[in-house]
Structure 1
Amino acid sequence: MSRKIKLLWDFRGPDAKETAKHHTIHLKEFATIENLTFHEIDIKENNPMFVSAFITVDEKDMKIYRDALKPQRGEIAE
Structure 2
Amino acid sequence: MEKILDRKIKFIWDFKGPAAAKTAEHYEKHLQEYVLNEELKFDTTGFGHLSDMHSIAFLVVAEFEMIQARDDLKPHRGELYLD
Return the letter of the residue paired with 2:70: R
Q: Which runs of 5+ in 2 are unaligned?
A: none
Return the letter of the residue paired with 2:10: K
Deviations 1:9-45 (A, max 9, x none): 1000111111001001111111211222224100121
Give the distance between the partners of 1:65 and 1:74, measured in 2 at CA: 12
Return the letter of the residue paired with 1:9: W
Return the letter of the residue paired with 1:52: I
Q: Does 1:17 align with 2:21?
A: yes
Match of 1:56 among 60, 69, 78: 60
Q: Taking every aligned residue pair, what percent have the same amino acid on both sides?
A: 42
**What TM-score, normalized to structure 2?**
0.86
Residue in 2 that maps onto 1:42:
46
Give the distance between the partners of 1:17 and 1:38, measured in 2 at CA: 24
Deviations 1:21-75 (A, max 9, x none): 1001111111211222224100121112100100011111111110100001101
Secondary structure at the residue paired with 1:53?
A: strand
Runs of 4+ in 1 over 2 A off after TM superposition: none
Give the distance between the partners of 2:59 and 2:25, measured in 1 at CA: 12
Is the Cα–Cα contact under 8 Å of residues 35 and 43 in structure 2 kept in the other structure?
Answer: no
Query: How many residues are aligned here?
Result: 78
**What TM-score, normalized to structure 1?**
0.91
Q: Over the residues paired in the alignment, what is the CA RMSD in angstroms?
A: 1.1
